[in-house]
Amino acid sequence: MKNCKIKAGLFIALFGLLVVSCSDDDDDTVMLPEASSLNLNLTGLENLGDDYLYEGWVIVNGAPVSTGTFSVDDSGKLSATEFEMEAEILNSATSFVLSIEPNPDPSTAPADTKIFVGDFNGDTANLGTGTVAPSFDDIEGKFIIAAPTGTGADEEKYSGIWFLDNSSGSAVAGLKLPELEAGWKYEGWVVIDGVPVTTGTFTATDAADEQAPFSGSNPGPSFPGEDLLVNAPSPLVFPTDVRGKVAVISIEPFPDNSAAPFTLKPLVGMVAADAMGVQEIAPNVDGSFPSGSVTR
């Protein structure tokens, strides 16, 4: 019996060592970073197609940290509105930026095409388009209907639009628009029976635009605009009559993969039926610019 007691004591001692050993292993457990969520509440964004995605970024100590990518369908619905991040990173963020990125994206940095920005005030950042241009508060637009690059034939008379003001007898810029940030360009349009026809992209309102795909062979004014005389896109026929049609100035991401105006349309107006003299195109910022906020 004495030997049995010794053996039992030895078993208890060994078992105690095993318990201690297991407790020591528990102390080596790796703790995962605390997670938190960023939630997007955005309206007015458009479908970018298959070649581009929207990507969110938070700015932490002056550096961008991706919050994730998402797409938008034709009805404006986001493919994702909640993104999980490390709580420490999200809580340290001072602002949020939304950019348009190529898909696939070879870069880990934000593209120049930043459509939204907002500073966090507590847990919310209200977003604006300050990354597109500083302000659109005082924009104006004027244009004339003429076809100076054509032959002068009667059927060409109302087949051109030029964003200039010649009411004083000398042509001056017809558009008052802010200088755009990198990654964006203005583009003029005439919408004819539901078909948007570009009049060219531009960055300066007092110089010719970058394209003249439909104009004739004669020189045109040194201002944004276009004569619609040749190379008509289907199903249109040129020359045409733009009276009663819709004139648009949009802001396009650059590069741009769409043949239609982007969601940012700061100026929109109907071309008058009489097409006499200088006409005005009205501000449309409130009617077309997206809006929203993010919360953490």
Q: Which of residues 101, 131, 161 is at a domain's end?
A: 131
Same domain, 205 and 167: yes
Same domain, 124 and 144: no
Same domain, 174 and 273: yes
Same domain, 281 and 173: yes
Same domain, 83 and 170: no
Instruction: Tell me which of 296 and 22 has the higher pLDDT.
Output: 296
Same domain, 119 and 144: no
Predicted pLDDT of residue 257: 87
Predicted pLDDT of residue 28: 61
Confidence of residue 19 (pLDDT cuts 50, 70, 90): very low
- Domain range spanning residue 208? 140-288
The backbone region for 52, taken as left when phi is positive above 0, alpha when psi lies in -120 to 50, beta otherwise, is: beta
Predicted pLDDT of residue 13: 41
The string of pLDDT tens digits covering residues 247-288 is 999 999 999 989 999 999 999 999 999 888 999 999 999 999
Whether the pLDDT of residue 296 is over 70: the answer is yes
Predicted pLDDT of residue 141: 98
Domain assignment present for 72: yes
Predicted pLDDT of residue 164: 98
Q: Which of residues 91, 106, 131 is at a domain's end?
A: 131
The candidate with the shortest Cα–Cα distance to 278, out of 140, 137, 138, is 140
Q: How many domains does the chain have?
A: 2
Whether the pLDDT of residue 64 is over 60: the answer is yes
Same domain, 145 and 118: no
The string of pLDDT tens digits covering residues 50-63 is 999 999 999 999 99
Same domain, 115 and 220: no
Whether the pLDDT of residue 33 is over 60: the answer is yes
The string of pLDDT tens digits covering residues 81-139 is 999 999 999 999 999 999 999 999 999 999 999 999 999 999 999 999 999 999 999 99
- Kindly report the average pLDDT of the chain as a whole number: 91
Predicted pLDDT of residue 224: 98
Domain assignment present for 22: no
Q: Which of residues 83, 98, 131 is at a domain's end?
A: 131
Domain assignment present for 2: no
Domain assignment present for 18: no
What count of other Cβ atoms lies within 10 Å of the Cβ of residue 13? 9
Same domain, 147 and 281: yes
The string of pLDDT tens digits covering residues 185-212 is 999 999 999 999 999 999 999 999 999 9
Alpha-carbon torsion, ordered 147, 152, 153, 159, to 10 deg: 0
Same domain, 150 and 102: no
Predicted pLDDT of residue 3: 45
Q: Tokens for 292? A: 């929203």
Same domain, 169 and 247: yes
Predicted pLDDT of residue 1: 42
Domain assignment present for 24: no
Same domain, 98 and 150: no
Domain assignment present for 252: yes
Domain assignment present for 6: no
Confidence of residue 9 (pLDDT cuts 50, 70, 90): very low
Domain assignment present for 245: yes
Predicted pLDDT of residue 11: 36
pTM score > 0.85 for this model? yes
